[in-house]
């Protein structure tokens, strides 16, 4: 094995450990302090649009960076082609999957998820650094095809977690419901409507935004909460806190999205 650049190796370790720490801090903040590194509502909306919960994505990212660091260490110590190939496979899968999710969020969210973007650029920088470190090792066609297969698998996983199920399915209670409330757990107006409707004993079928997103986009709805009322020959749509509150005859209260400007963006549908 040819002598490798110690600077590039240290840089690779630094970038990958930075990614591990960055994701780890976000995991701790989310689960123990109920906050986030990300300063914008785009991060909260991003988690609403994906079938896989944010915690699972964070754990997946932690495993990804840990595996890369471990494989790089083993390759540094042994120079074995197995570890080099595994690095190539994992980097390809991570880059393709991450790039697709960034693209999906870019076309669906007006305000970017800065946490997602930073993780992507850390991954990209780490991949470039590691590949530069491995540049003297030739990559054969079979290994390139295997790496591409890993990438396609990662892309398929990205398609799956970014493809919410339709709101009206052939089975289940949603189809039979007369009133369907589309909500987001980060929307203060939605929380107000749900709490008040439960207090009054109103029968609402509640559907989260990620499940209803294809329908919401098709109907060009702009704000939450959304109420769909199914009648015999038509569907009435009420969108926004005031419209939903009036239809359900809820107690007159100030719209929390207007009252709290910092949270107002969370009532808007991207």
Q: How far apart are CA 126 and CA 122, in angstroms?
A: 6
List beta partners, residue 236.
229
- Residue ranges per domain, the chain? 6-161, 173-267
173-267 CATH fold: Glutaredoxin (3.40.30)
- Residue of 48, 64, 143 whose CA lies nearest to 104: 48
Distance from the first to the final alpha carbon of the chain: 51
Record the tokens describing residue 217, joined without a space. Answer: 């986009």
> Which residues, including other chains, have CB under 8 Å from residue 40's CB and lie 6 or more apart?
111, 112, 113, 114
Q: What's the pTM value of the predicted model, to 2 decimals?
A: 0.68
Print pLDDT tens along the chain (270 aa).
Answer: 455 789 999 999 999 999 999 999 999 998 998 788 887 666 766 776 677 778 899 999 999 999 999 999 999 999 888 999 999 999 999 999 999 999 988 887 766 788 999 999 999 999 999 999 988 777 788 888 999 999 999 999 988 887 654 444 333 343 444 788 988 888 888 988 998 888 888 888 888 887 777 677 767 788 888 988 877 667 788 888 888 988 888 876 777 776 444 444 567 776
- Residue of 242, 270, 11 whose CA lies nearest to 122: 11
């Amino acid at each position: 094995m040819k002598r490798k650049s110690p600077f590039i190796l240290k840089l690779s370790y630094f970038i990958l450990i930075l990614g591990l720490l960055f994701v780890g801090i976000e995991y701790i903040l989310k689960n123990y302090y109920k906050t986030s590194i990300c300063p914008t509502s785009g991060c909260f909306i991003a988690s609403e649009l994906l079938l896989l919960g944010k915690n699972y994505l964070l754990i997946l990212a932690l495993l990804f960076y840990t595996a890369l660091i471990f494989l790089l260490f083993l390759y540094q110590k042994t120079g074995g082609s197995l570890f080099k190939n595994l690095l190539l496979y994992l980097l390809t899968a991570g880059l393709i999957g991450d790039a697709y999710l960034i693209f999906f969020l870019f076309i669906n969210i007006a305000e970017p998820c800065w946490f997602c973007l930073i993780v992507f650029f850390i991954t990209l920088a780490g991949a470039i650094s590691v590949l530069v470190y491995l540049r003297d090792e030739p990559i054969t066609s079979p290994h390139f095809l295997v790496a591409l297969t890993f990438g396609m698998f990662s892309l398929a996983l990205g398609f799956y977690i970014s493809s919410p199920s339709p709101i009206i399915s052939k089975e289940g209670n949603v189809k039979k419901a007369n009133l369907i409330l589309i909500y987001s757990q980060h929307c203060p107006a939605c929380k107000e409507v749900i709490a008040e409707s439960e207090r009054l004993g109103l029968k609402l079928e509640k559907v989260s935004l990620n499940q209803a997103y294809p329908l919401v986009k098709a109907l060009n709805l702009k704000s939450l909460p959304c109420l769909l009322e199914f009648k015999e020959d038509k569907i009435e749509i009420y969108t926004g806190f005031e419209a939903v509150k009036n239809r359900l005859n809820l107690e007159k209260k100030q719209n929390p999205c207007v009252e709290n400007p910092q949270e107002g963006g969370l009532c808007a549908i991207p």
